[in-house]
Structure 1
Amino acid sequence: MGKYIGKRLLSMIPVLFGVVTLVFFMLHFAPGDPARTVLGESATEADLVQQREEMGLNDPILVQYGRFLTEIVHGDFGTSYLTGRPVGDEILQRFPTTMLLTILPILVMIIIGIPTGIISAIKQYSWMDKTCMVIALTGISMPTFCTGMLLTLAFSLNLHIFPPSGFYGPIYWVLPSITIGFGAVALLTRMTRSSMLEVIRQDYIRTARAKGQTENKIIMHHALKNALIPIITVIGLQAGVQLGGAMVTESLFAIPGLGNFMLEAIKGRNYPVVQGGVLFIAFTFCILNLLIDVIYAFVDPRIKAQYKAGKKVKVKKQ
């Protein structure tokens, strides 16, 4: 297992390198002038030239790229054009808010999505199943920003139950968490239902019923345990997707997180902040995927057996 984790960590290097390269050149070839953004529209041409020189924007693009890679290797994400503070400090200051806004919807997704999917599977084609699938289809089809605006309109402006913006306590977390988690719950419900339906039709489930096992034990011990791999995959992927969804939600609810910070940086042509933020999110996404792969081994012993003693072992198919 340790060797497998080491290989996965090494495989992150080309992924992160590709992300850094793509973001760097996309930003630098996009229209706009960061010096103009920093100095304002009233700045003279001489001031702009001097500012570009101080920011290193007059150097050839490959020189800028090489300098950026060197700084990244040494753990330096650069300095924000607008605040003058290290980008790494700015990111770490805001990342806990974004991470909390990612974890809460994941908890909502697990608590609601898995039980709903199980009920839909064991009550297939019933009114409960059809109702859950209609709600799930609605959740998947509705964009995040649309869900957020409808929730704000209903529960903040009309009912005055939850605050419309901010992130200063548990009551402020409710609407953003539901906004992000609604689509994720719908997706997990459909995946749980599909995976459970495939498992409960297997021969060993019929054998367990023939032996007199209770239905609850059959569902929770035999069926759910064997249906967990695709469910865990969806949870892991959604954890990464939530980081992107959090950006839109942060802007919608005026939450001082990493997403809102990066949106402002994109509008202000703040290259170091955008590059550092994207790299940090990509690294977090890679770590989440690695964590999901490790969890696979604890859920399914066959996967752990493949990396026993650091060597792959071929598992005989039944």
Structure 2
Amino acid sequence: MLAFTLKRLLLLLPVFFVVSLVVFLIIHLVPGDPIDNLLRPGASPAQRLQIAAKYGLDRGLAEQYFVWMGRLLTGDLGTSIVQGRPVSALIAQNLPYSLQLGAAALLFSALVGIVAGVVAASFQGTRLDDGITGVILLGSTVPSFFLGLLLILVFAVWLGWVPISGARGWSSLILPVLATGLGGIALVARVTRIAMVETARQDFVMLLHAKGLSPLVIQLRHVLRHAMVPVVTILSLRIGWILGGTVTVEYVFARPGLGSLLIRALNQRDYPLVQGCLLMLAMAVILGTLMGDVVQAAMDPRQREARS
């Protein structure tokens, strides 16, 4: 198992370099630059050149990338051009809010999604199964930012049950968690249902029925345990996608976090800050994938042998 984990870690190194290159090129190919936010009206071209030289923006893209990469390998994400603070400090200040929202949304989508999938699989072919499947399909098609706006309108504006925005107290987490996690519920429930239906057709399940075990015991103790392998993989992938999904949700609910920081940096064309935020989100997806592979291999040795 240790050799498998080390091998997967080594495979992430080229992925990391490719991701860093893509992140760097994306922000530098977008029209505009951060100098426009630093210059006063009527500034001369000489002042523009002076600021560009100060932040290394007068160099070629290749040279800028290698300079940034060299600093990155030493743990230095650079300094925000507009705010004048280290990027690592800004990320460390905002990341806990995103992790709090992401962890709550992941737990919410996992628990509700697995329960919905188990119920749908247990009552396969009934109206209850059709109703859950319909809700799952509806939940997977509604964008999180649009859902967030609807939740604000109903529960914050009309009913006044929860705060509209901010991050003060646990009540301010309710609507963002719902907006972020409902899409995950649909995905987890669909995977759980399919995996349980396929597992229920295996020969060992027929043998358990022949032994006289209760259908409920068979479903919960045996079928669900075997069906959890693809579910765990999906949940691991959701770690990165939920952090990415909080970008729009945080902006809609005016919450501090990595998403709000990224959108503000994009509007200001703050290259180092945008690169740092995007790299953090990309690494979350990569580490989530790694975690999914390791957990799946630990649960099913056949997967470990197939990928060795």
Q: CA deviation at 1:60?
A: 2.0
> 1:73 matched to which residue of 2?
73
Cα distance between partner residues in 1 of 2:29 and 2:297: 44
| Residue aligned with 1:39, SS | coil
Relative to structure 2, which stretch is displaced further, 287-296 or 122-131?
A: 287-296
Q: Match for 1:148: what amino acid?
A: G
| Residue aligned with 1:56, SS | coil
Cα distance between partner residues in 2 of 1:141 and 1:70: 42
> Which runs of 5 or more structure 2 residues have no equivalent in the other structure?
none
Cα distance between partner residues in 2 of 1:294 and 1:38: 46
> 1:7 matched to which residue of 2?
7
Q: CA deviation at 1:22?
A: 1.3
> Which runs of 5 or more structure 1 residues have no equivalent in the other structure?
313-318
Q: Is the 8 A contact 1:140 1:183 kept in 2?
A: yes
| Residue aligned with 2:183, SS | helix
Cα distance between partner residues in 2 of 1:193 and 1:116: 8
> 2:115 matched to which residue of 1?
115
> 2:292 matched to which residue of 1?
292
1:216-266 superposed Cα distances (whole Å, 9 cap, x missing partner): 221112101111111112111222111111000000001110111011111
Q: Is the 8 A contact 1:16 1:279 kept in 2?
A: no
| Residue aligned with 2:278, SS | helix
Change over 3 Å in CA distance of 1:40–1:189 after alignment to 2: farther
Relative to structure 2, which stretch is displaced further, 252-261 or 221-230?
A: 221-230
Structure 2 matches for 1:44-55, cutoff 5 A? 44-55=44-55
Q: Is the 8 A contact 2:35 2:52 kept in 1?
A: yes
1:225 and 2:225 correspond: yes
1:79-135 superposed Cα distances (whole Å, 9 cap, x missing partner): 001111111111111111111111111111111111111111110121211111111
> 2:173 matched to which residue of 1?
173
> 1:96 matched to which residue of 2?
96
What's the Cα RMSD here? Answer: 1.6
Q: Is the 8 A contact 1:262 1:277 kept in 2?
A: yes
Structure 2 matches for 1:259-278, cutoff 5 A? 259-278=259-278
> 2:162 matched to which residue of 1?
162
> 2:202 matched to which residue of 1?
202
Cα distance between partner residues in 1 of 2:157 and 2:171: 15
TM-score of the superposed pair, with normalisation by structure 2? 0.95
Cα distance between partner residues in 1 of 2:137 and 2:61: 46
> 1:215 matched to which residue of 2?
215
Q: Match for 1:162: what amino acid?
A: V
Cα distance between partner residues in 2 of 1:254 and 1:41: 30
| Residue aligned with 2:38, SS | helix
Cα distance between partner residues in 2 of 1:98 and 1:43: 38
Change over 3 Å in CA distance of 1:54–1:200 after alignment to 2: same
Change over 3 Å in CA distance of 1:41–1:266 after alignment to 2: farther
Q: Is the 8 A contact 2:110 2:184 kept in 1?
A: no
Q: Is the 8 A contact 1:36 1:43 kept in 2?
A: no
| Residue aligned with 2:91, SS | helix
Q: CA deviation at 1:42?
A: 4.3
Q: CA deviation at 1:25?
A: 1.9
**Identity in percent:** 35
